[in-house]
Amino acid sequence: MSRDIAVLGAGMHPWGKWGRNFVEYGLAAARAALADAGVAWQDVQYVAGADTIRNGYPGFIAGATFAQALGWSGAQVSSSYAACASGAQAIGSARAQILAGLCDVALVVGADAAPKGFFKPVGGDRPDDPDWLRFRLLGATNPIYFALYARRRMAMHSATLDDFAAVKVKNARHGLGNPNARYRKEVTLEDVRASAVVADPLRLLDICATSDGGAALVLSSMDFARRHGVADPVRISALSTVTPTFPKTVLDLPDFATDSAMAADEPERPFRPALAHAAYEEAGIGPDELSLAEVYDLSTALELDWYEDIGLCGPGGAEELLRSGATALGGRVPVNPSGGLACFGEAVPAQAIAQVCELTWQLGGRAEGRQVDDARAGIAVNQGLFGHGSAVIAVR
């Protein structure tokens, strides 16, 4: 039985620093997605929210918050928190409801109003919380572990600072044509070289910002899409949120140590490659069939790791793939045609949803100014803290 569901509509609130409540961003994105789908809010049976933190509130809120903002309608709701994969888990929740026959139409929404500068732990003393400890004991802000990954890449695969800078140059060029991107400006290698060192070897322009923004999708069963007059919709054909496999031999903060490598053989695939592999298996396609990819470029160096993790090349081949132009618009498989986090920044609950918005527009031939020619299949991947991550494959 097919597990495909239809993406009827996609909508976003532009990324930036707007200084308003996150609900406004989600509401704008939701209304845009509903208009894109040609679906009335009253026809939505299920609302899946990707969670954020409201300052001063001791918890995570999303699904019912957006349902209330749109106007109480009796729709069922859910809320998902999975760090940077929250949006993908919200998509997964809606997808499960649709495939189970429990609803025909679902709205998925994520939005955030991020702090200025680096992310920091929520207030209060929590000495049993590894995320709290990595800030308080190690002083390890997010750019610290971005830099550790970059150093690892330099040591293992001879990546250079100019390789990292070239990723920023490529993504900045892609983002020029994206009206939802926060940064829409050409960047040169010299610009990256001249930007301040934040966490050696990474410079300011190697690292994504923190942003406000929102994204939403209207999803439905294939039967509803046909009844709605959409005979050939963009389809989500796979969604993977697998966890790591013991032993996890590469350190991911906020973990302070890897699993014991002496107790068991290394798994066949590390965490990020496992996310992509599970999605390929479910979709019945391989990386050679991709038209594009949206990957989670928290740093320029991390984008290169993702090339290998999603199978675009073998280990150590990312730098040559980048240099060949294969991952730029017009190349064999453009990566981050949206501009990626390099042009958007992090609005955590919205990010995975925004990636699928981009796949939707690309596969529908509607990504004006950045369109990938004859796009037929795309993957969106990201990784969050605490063993969260996702891979979503969309096809046309």
**Whether residue 286 is found in the same domain as residue 388:** yes
Do 296 and 271 fall within a single domain?
yes
Q: Is residue 379 part of a domain?
A: yes
Answer yes or no: is 274 within a domain. yes
| Helix (H/G/I), strand (E/B), else coil: 261 | coil
Q: Are residues 305 and 170 in the same domain?
A: yes
In a domain, 125, yes or no: no
Instruction: Identify whether residues 180 and 228 lie together within a single domain.
Output: no
- The confidence score (pLDDT) of residue 59 equals 55
- Name the pTM for this structure: 0.96
* Residue 58, pLDDT above cutoff 70: no
Whether 14 and 150 map to the same domain: the answer is no
Q: Which domain holds residue 304?
A: 130-205+237-395
Q: What average pLDDT does range 152-161 have in this prediction?
A: 97
Residue 124 placed within a domain? no
| Residue 25 in domain | yes
- One domain, residues 168 and 59: no
Is 9 among the domain residues? yes
The DSSP symbol for 120 reads: -
The Cα diameter of the chain in Å comes to 58
151 part of a folded domain: yes
Could you give the percent of the chain with pLDDT greater than 90? 81
Full DSSP string of 122-174? PSS--TT-HHHHHHHTT---HHHHHHHHHHHHHHHH---HHHHHHHHHHHHHH
Same domain, 163 and 101: no
Question: Residue 36 in contact with residue 9, Cβ under 8 Å?
Answer: yes
Residues 109 and 170 in one domain: no
Rounded CA gap, 133 and 125, in Å? 10
Same domain, 221 and 248: no
pLDDT on residue 56: 47
Residues 167 and 73 placed together within one structural domain of the fold: no
Judgement on whether residues 267 and 355 belong to the same structural domain of the protein? yes
Segment 360-370, tens digit of pLDDT: 999 999 999 99
Total count of domains within the chain:
2
* CATH code at position 167: 3.40.47.10
pLDDT per position as a tens digit, 235-246: 999 999 999 998
Do 337 and 348 share a structural domain? Answer: yes
| Residue 122, in any domain of the structure | no
At residue 250, the pLDDT reads: 83
